Amino acid sequence: MSTRPLKENNGNPRVITILLACLVGFVAGEVLATLFASALSASLHFPGGFSVLAKATKPPYWFTICALVGLWCGFMATVLYSKLVAGLSIPKSLFQIKRADATYVLVGVVSQLFIDLAYKPFHFKNMNKPVDHIFGSVHGAMFVLLAMLTTFAAPVIEETLFRGVVFRSLDTSFSKVSQKFGSYAAMALSAVIFAVAHAELLQFVGLFALGIVLSYIVKKTGRLAPSILAHMSFNAVAMFALILQRTGH
- CB of 101 closer than 8 Å to CB of 177: no
Q: Where are the alpha helices (DSSP H) in 14-102?
A: 15-43, 49-55, 61-84
Longest dimension (CA), the chain: 58
List the domain boundaries for the chain: 15-91+98-246
Distance separating alpha carbons of residues 207 and 187, to the nearest angstrom:
13
Q: What is the pLDDT averaged over residues 178-201? A: 96
pLDDT at 249: 64
Instruction: Work out the number of other CB atoms within 10 angstroms of the CB of residue 22.
Output: 23
Average pLDDT, the chain: 92
Residue 86: φ, ψ to 5°: -85, 0
Distance separating alpha carbons of residues 4 and 22, to the nearest angstrom:
26
Distance separating alpha carbons of residues 62 and 81, to the nearest angstrom:
28
pLDDT interval class at 246 (50, 70, 90): confident
Instruction: Work out the number of other CB atoms within 10 angstroms of the CB of residue 98.
Output: 11
Segment 146-169, tens digit of pLDDT: 999 999 999 999 999 999 999 999
Q: What is the pLDDT averaged over residues 194-201? A: 95
Q: By C-alpha distance, which of 28, 27, 8, 60 is closest to 169?
A: 8
Segment 12-31, tens digit of pLDDT: 689 999 999 999 999 999 99
Segment 73-110, tens digit of pLDDT: 999 999 999 999 999 999 999 999 999 999 999 999 99
Indicate the pTM of the whole model: 0.92
Distance separating alpha carbons of residues 23 and 74, to the nearest angstrom:
9
Q: What is the pLDDT averaged over residues 48-54? A: 89
Q: Where are the alpha helices (DSSP H) in the chain?
A: 15-43, 49-55, 61-84, 103-119, 129-135, 140-148, 154-158, 168-177, 182-197, 204-221, 225-246
Q: What is the pLDDT averaged over residues 179-187? A: 96
- Burial label for 108, CB within 10 Å (0-12, 13-18, 19+), is buried
- Burial label for 114, CB within 10 Å (0-12, 13-18, 19+), is middle
Question: If you ran DSSP here, which 8-state letter would residue 17 be given?
Answer: H
